[in-house]
């Protein structure tokens, strides 16, 4: 048996096209151009790649993109002042501060300074709390992407057994809440969980979000399960080059699972597409318009 490959590239492209259509509609009908501001502190090469991709895709969707690059040694107060300016700027509907921040900056304080209505990362305590309380909220983009990919295979997740491996604020915790909202039965596993393979084998839906290359093996997976791989690690190859791998041993999983996301070309593609969705949603909410149909 060979699993179905869930094509994040195709699904993300479809989502971006729907966002672009809705952006064109709100521009035409309401004179609203959604705007996203991305703040990059320092020059981490991976973060620079992400930020460039956000900029290009935001403009391609017809939205305004504002980039703010600050040196790694910027003071906390200067960064907070920039966030204050973006909070007050009517052309900006979404604010994203690229993480991780360089040492010396207080990530919690920076995130808390963002206007929750513009918090398109869904990391502000107001949004995290609202999501945990089952209330409408801006939710983190990678977990939203995971749900969309899962629903491409299973339109309803009600009653399914899901395991989320990893409990980060950016992925694991919000993903658990989104799965609960979809009426899945959720196990949260982490570095202290006992007998992870046995826990995993009970799951119809496996979400691997720990950042450990190929940790989830084929014999951890229940036959026919859907496997969503959030991990992305660069590892050296025998030929002296490098390649990207996920948290799941892909070739092994393909022999057991029903459906698997590849790395790259799976979850990664969805994160920026969902950021565009959140920016459009935030813009409509700030303008008092009904939620967009995406």
Q: What is the 3-state secondary structure (H, E, C) of 84-151?
A: HHHHHCCCCCEEEECCCCCCCCCHHHHHHHCCHHHCCCCCCHHHHHHHHCCCCCCCCHHHHHHHHHHH
> How near is the Cβ of 164 to ligand GUN at its closest, in Å?
16
From 115, 121, 229, 247, the catalytic residue: 121
- Gyration radius of the chain's alpha carbons: 19
CB 139 within 8 A of CB 178: yes
* 219 catalytic residue (yes or no): no
Closest by CA position to 165, among listed 225, 127, 216 = 216
Query: Nearest residue by C-beta to ligand GUN?
Result: 99
Q: Which residues bind ligand GUN (CB under 6 A)?
A: 96-99, 121, 141-142, 170, 271
Residues 6+ apart with CB under 8 A from 274: 15, 141, 142, 144, 145, 148
Distance CA(225)–CA(222), nearest Å, equals: 5
Told to judge if 57 belongs to the known catalytic residues of this protein, a careful annotator would answer: no
Among residues 58 and 98, whose Cβ is nearest to ligand GUN?
A: 98
Q: Considering the complex, what minimum distance in angstroms separates the CB of residue 96 from ligand GUN? A: 5
Q: Which of 57, 98, 177, 269 is catalytic?
A: 98
47 or 193: whose CB is closer to ligand GUN?
Answer: 47
**Distant-in-sequence, close-in-space partners of 188: CB < 8 Å, separation ≥ 6:** 164, 167, 172, 176
Name which of 39 and 63 has its Cβ closer to ligand GUN.
39
Residue 158 beta carbon to ligand GUN: minimum distance, rounded to whole angstroms = 27
Nearer to ligand GUN, 261 or 271 (CB): 271
Among 256, 195, 260, 252, smallest CA distance to 1 is for 256
Cβ closest to ligand GUN, residue 46 vs residue 291:
46
Q: Answer yes or no: 269 catalytic.
A: no
| DSSP one-letter code for 219 | G
The nearer residue to ligand GUN, 15 or 96, going by C-beta atoms, is 96
Q: Could you tell me the smallest distance in angstroms from the CB atom of residue 205 to ligand GUN? A: 21
φ/ψ of 236, rounded to 5, equals -75, 145
Pairing of strands 64-70, 35-41: parallel
Q: Rounded to an integer, what distance in angstroms lies between the CA atom of residue 235 and that of residue 244? A: 6
What is the C-alpha separation between 226 and 257, in angstroms, rounded?
6
* Shortest Cβ 9–ligand GUN spacing (Å): 18
The partner residues of 206 in beta bridges, in order of sequence, read 163, 227
Minimum distance of ligand GUN from residue 258's CB (angstroms): 27
- Report the catalytic residues: 54, 98, 121
């Amino acid at each position: 048996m060979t699993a179905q490959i869930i094509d994040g590239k195709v699904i993300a492209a479809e989502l971006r096209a729907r966002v672009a259509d809705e952006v064109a509609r709100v521009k035409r009908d309401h004179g609203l151009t959604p705007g996203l501001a991305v703040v990059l502190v320092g020059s981490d090469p991976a973060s620079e790649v992400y930020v460039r991709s956000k900029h290009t895709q935001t403009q391609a969707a017809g939205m305004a993109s504002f980039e703010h690059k600050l040196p790694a040694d910027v003071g906390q107060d200067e960064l907070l002042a920039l966030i204050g300016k973006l909070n007050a700027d009517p052309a900006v509907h979404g604010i994203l501060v690229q993480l991780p921040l360089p040492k010396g900056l207080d990530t919690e304080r920076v995130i808390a300074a963002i206007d929750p209505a513009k918090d398109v990362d869904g990391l502000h305590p107001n949004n995290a709390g609202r999501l945990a309380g089952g209330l409408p909220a801006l939710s983190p983009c990678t977990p939203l992407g995971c749900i969309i990919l899962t629903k491409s295979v299973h339109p309803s997740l009600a009653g399914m057994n899901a395991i989320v491996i990893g409990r980060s604020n950016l992925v694991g915790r919000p993903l658990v809440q989104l799965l609960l909202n979809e009426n899945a039965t959720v196990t949260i596993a982490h570095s202290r969980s006992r007998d992870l393979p046995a826990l995993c084998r009970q799951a119809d839906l496996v979400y691997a979000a720990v950042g450990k290359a190929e940790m989830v093996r084929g014999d951890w997976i229940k036959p026919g399960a859907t496997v969503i791989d959030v991990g992305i690690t660069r590892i050296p190859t025998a030929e002296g080059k490098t390649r990207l791998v996920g948290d799941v041993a892909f070739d092994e999983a393909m022999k057991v699972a029903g459906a698997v996301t590849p790395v790259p070309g799976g979850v990664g593609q969805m994160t920026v597409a969902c950021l565009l969705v959140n920016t459009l949603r935030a813009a409509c909410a700030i303008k008092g318009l009904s939620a967009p149909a995406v």
